[in-house]
Structure 1
Amino acid sequence: MAEIKKRVLSFSNGKTIKLYGNSVAIGKSLEIAEAYAPNIFGFTAPVGDDKAGTVFNPHKLSADELQELADLNIRLWMDFKDSVRKHGINNTKLFNKEAIL
């Protein structure tokens, strides 16, 4: 299984990709990109005596809303996997073109 450590995306076959951001994201079009900033939900690093840091939630999302967001992303990734299986990686049919236009 792929993993991200220290801004490096590593695959089980040994291939690595240096990331400039801190995560990988998928859009409704099923295009994949780096995500540079945790601007929806994240945490700020500990400062001084604050050993735990602080939760960053600028949109004040509830637990239910965050779980809904997770479900959306899981669905998009599953759609991506299904599309790769169906069309391969060199066919533009892989992408959800209606989401792009």
Structure 2
Amino acid sequence: MADIKKRVLILSTGKTIKLFGNSIAIGKSLEIGEGYAPNLFSAGTGSDHEKPTGTVSNPHSLTAQEMHEIADFNIRLWLDLKDNLRKYGLTNPKTFKPGD
């Protein structure tokens, strides 16, 4: 299973991808990239950006139910991407959803 350590995405195949941010993200079109700003819900971090300091940032005052909704939305996008990769492969533009 993939993991991110010290801003490096490590895949089970041994391939590594250096990240500029601290996460990967998926858009509504099913394109993936780096998620740079943890600006919706995040843990306060120390100078090494990996160890939580005990603070939580929730600038939009999201409730647990709203966080579940956001998680479900993102999970659905990732599952749609997996389904489309199985159906269309890596080289077919149909893999991606048209953006709204």
Structure 2-normalised TM-score? 0.90
Task: Tell me how far 1:12 sits from its aligned partner.
Answer: 0.3
The Cα of 1:58 is off from its aligned counterpart by 0.4
Whole-Å separation in 2 of the counterparts to 1:9 and 1:78: 20
Q: Is the 2:43–2:53 Cα contact (8 Å) retained in structure 1? A: no
1:19-98 aligned at under 5 Å gives the runs: 19-45=19-45, 52-97=53-98
Aligned amino acid, residue 77 of structure 1: W
Alpha-carbon deviations, 1:58-83, whole Å to 9, x = none?
A: 00000000011000000000000000
Q: Is the 8 A contact 1:41 1:57 kept in 2?
A: yes
Q: 1:46 to 1:13 in 2, by over 3 A?
A: closer
Q: Which residue of structure 2 lines up, in the alignment, with residue 16 of structure 1? A: 16
**Larger Cα-atom Rg:** 1
Tell me, in whole angstroms, the C-alpha distance in 1 between the residues paired with 2:73 and 2:87.
21
State the superposition RMSD in angstroms: 1.6
Between stretches 36-45 and 18-27, larger displacement belongs to 36-45
In the TM superposition, residue 33 of structure 1 has moved relative to its aligned partner by 0.8
Identical counterparts, % of pairs: 60
Q: Which moved more, 1:52-61 or 1:22-31?
A: 52-61
Offset at 1:43? 1.5
Unpaired runs of at least 5, structure 2: none
Q: Alpha-carbon deviation of 1:44?
A: 1.3
2 CA distance for matches of 1:22 and 1:58? 19
2:28 maps to amino acid:
K
Q: Which runs of 5+ in 1 are unaligned?
A: none
The aligned amino acid for 1:60 is: S
- The count of corresponding residues between Structure 1 and Structure 2 is 96
